[in-house]
Each structure stands twice: as structure tokens, then as C-alpha cells.
Amino acid sequence: MISLWSRQILAVLRLEMRKTFFARRGLWIYLLALAPVVLFAAHSIDVMQQRAQRQQRAAACSFSPERMAEIKPGMTREQVIAMLGQPAHRDMRRRRREAHEFLWYSDAQTDFIIHLTGGEVTGINRRESSNLSEDSLVFAGVFQFFYLRLAVFFGCLGVFMNLFRGELLDKSLHFYFLAPVRREVVLAGKFLAGLIATVLIFSLSTVLQLWALSWHFDSNSIQQYLWQGNGAHHVAAYIGVTALACIGYGSVLLAAGIFFRNPIVPAALVLIWESANWILPAALKKISIIFYLQSLSPIVAPAGYNVPPPLALLASTAAATPAYLAITGLLLMSLVVLTIAALKLRRLEINYSTD
């Protein structure tokens, strides 16, 4: 029996993979997965350009960074230049009828921008070159608050929701229902097809994002991060979390496609619930997929990441669930949802005129 079911699942996979990967209407899913890669690549290009400019500025001025500590507010432009030498670059701006002047010094790693108002020093701004730990935190924020909640969610919506609902709308689901195959086996085959497609697309995107983010670092730093630091573990964890997100959201959205004639409404409710997770009380947080995915992420992004300060006050925290519990819980939840969906599928009627 297992052998028969395996052959039938493979037959479903063969039919579904073609539709999932090469459907023209699925092009937006690839674009969605590619969006953060483009974002991080743009960031890397910007960092590399800034680095080149910083090196130009460092070459244009010769100063000792230690002396920067001696610059105090109230000092005049002439005093500053006497201590540090001529700046690499000067900016002049007028704001509220006051002249603001910015003197740029650089040591190739850090830009020092001395702010003078009315000819006197009012502040020093340091702009450091991008570093791995800072970029890791940025990645964690984008991954947890944009990638998982929006890109992976909508990608799964596009793939899993259409596995049954799409065929009902295309009036072609009877092809499966008129074959000597258990409907549960059809569901398993279709879910696996959706899972393979989404895990491949979004895991590849995760890897490409990490590559794009680290593009501007030299290969030594990358090697060190990967093999002597936590880099390899982080990459594996992010891929694992992406796969679990596909399993979790995939099962819920597949079930929505079976249960609801217009599954967009329940999908929107799930999205709102998942997006509002950061302000929910600890007990409610745990009734969501994103909470467990965040628990499994190797770097915890601050709650309310990228949220304006007044709203950030609403953010609440809950203790992360241990990895083994989070993984088991997510897999069990998916299994339960798929079992309920299979029971419904067993009773599903083909009545295209009403769908």
C-alpha cells in the first residue's frame, strides 16, 4: 500500500511541479523572492561606493584620529584646522538663517564630520564603515519582519492556496477526483509539490540575500565569519526557518483554499494576526507561526523593528520557545491542519457552477 501511495504521490508531483514552477501567473512569486536580494545587493553597492569615497577622503587629508578626541564644542574653524589639518571636503548649508559648515575628515575606516554653526564647533558625527555584526542585525530585522511575514507568506499564498482552489476555478480538479487514488494522497502530493517549490525558491532567496549582504566584505572576513564564527550555523538556521515557514504557512493556506470559496479573507486575517504579533500579550503571541519562527531565528531582531518610537512602546516580549519545541510544535500544527483539510477534501464536491 505504501508503495502504491508513493507512486501516486510521485505522479501528482510530476503534474504539479510543472504547474508550480513554470506557470506564467506565478512569476510574481519569483519577483517577491528576489526583492530582498535586490535590496541587499543595492546596500552592498552603496557600502562599496561609500568605502571608495572614504578612501579618497582619507588620501586627501592626513590627520591622526586620536586627535579627534581633543576637538571640543566651541572651538573655531581655524583652531580645528590648526589641530587636524585641512579637511578632505567641506559642506556649507543655511538652515533657519544660520550658516552651517561641515568639515569632513577620514581615516579610510571612519568618516568624522565636524559640524560648525556660526563658525564654532557644535558637534562631531562619526560614520563608520559597515560591519558584520551590524549587518547581521539588519538582516535579522528584514528577515523576520519583512521576509517571513510578507514575502514568504504571500509566496505561500500564491502557491498553496491555488493547489485546490485554483483547480476549482479552472474546473479541472475532477481529473484527480476521478482517479483511483485516495484524496488524502492527492493532498499529500499537492502539498509536497508546493513545499518543494516554495522551499527551493525562498531558501535560494535566503542564501542569495546573505550573499548579497556580505558582497561588500572581503573574502577573509567572510571565511572567518562562516567557519570560525557562527556564520555557517546562521545560514543553516535561516534556511531551516524559511523551510519551516513554508511548511507552516503552506499548510494553513492550503487548508484555506479547501475550506473557503474566497480564501483571501481568512488569509488576510492570518496575515493581520501574524503582523500584529509583536504587540500581542505573551500568551497570545504563542498562537501564531511567526512567534516560533522568530524563536528559531539565530539572531533575535528587536520587537517592533523599524517601528516609529511611539508605536514601539506597544511592543511586548515573550520568552523564546526552545528550538526542539518550536520545531516539533510547528510540524505538529501543520500535520493537524493538513489532516483536517484531508477530511474536508474527502467530502468536497465538484460543483463548478457555484465555485
Partner 1 sequence: MPESTGQSGVIVFDNVSKFYGDVLGVNRVNLSIPPGVTSLVGPNGSGKTTLMNLMTGLVQPTAGRISVRGVAPSQPELLFGFTGYCTQFDSFPKGLTGFQYVYSWLRLSGRPHAEAESMAWAAIDTVNLREAAVRKVAAYSKGMRQRIKLAQSIAHNPSVLVLDEPLNGLDPLVRAETIALFREQARAGRHVILSSHVLQEVDAISDQVVLLAGGYVVAEGQIRGVRSEIQDHPMQILIRCDKPGALAARVFQQDHVVEARIHADRRGLLIKTRDPEQFYLLLNQIALNGIEIESVAPADDDVNSVYEYLIGSEEATK
- Three-class DSSP category at 308: coil
Find the shortest distance in angstroms from Cβ 352 to partner 1.
7
CA distance 59 to 37: 33
Decide: is 97 part of the binding site for partner 1 (CB under 8 A): no
Of residues 179 and 222, the one with the C-beta less far from partner 1: 179
Of residues 71 and 345, the one with the C-beta less far from partner 1: 345
Centroid of chain to Cα 157: 16
- Three-class DSSP category at 297: coil
- Which range, of 60-68, 115-123, 155-163, 343-351, touches partner 1 by CB under 8 A? 343-351
Taking CA atoms, 352 is separated from 12, 144, 225, 329, in Å, by: 22, 39, 56, 36
Question: How many CA atoms are closer than 13 Å to the CA of 2, on its beta-carbon side?
Answer: 0
Residues forming a β-bridge with 125: 113
Question: Judged by CB under 8 A, which of 15, 35, 237, 276 binds partner 1?
Answer: 15
Of residues 10 and 332, the one with the C-beta less far from partner 1: 10
Find the shortest distance in angstroms from Cβ 200 to partner 1.
20
Site for partner 1 in 135-194 (CB under 8 A): 167, 170-172, 174-183, 185
Of residues 72 and 174, the one with the C-beta less far from partner 1: 174
Find the shortest distance in angstroms from Cβ 135 to partner 1.
42
User: DSSP strand E in the chain: where?
Assistant: 89-95, 98-106, 110-117, 120-128
Of residues 28 and 352, the one with the C-beta less far from partner 1: 352
Site for partner 1 in 17-56 (CB under 8 A): 18-19, 22-23
How many other C-beta atoms can be found within 10 angstroms of the C-beta atom of residue 260?
A: 14
Find the shortest distance in angstroms from Cβ 14 to partner 1.
7
Strand arrangement of the beta sheet that strand 98-106 belongs to: 89-95, 98-106, 110-117, 120-128
Decide: is 343 part of the binding site for partner 1 (CB under 8 A): no
Cell numbers describing residue 16: 504539479
Contacting positions for partner 1 (CB under 8 A): 4, 7-8, 10-12, 14-15, 18-19, 22-23, 167, 170-172, 174-183, 185, 346-347, 349-352, 354
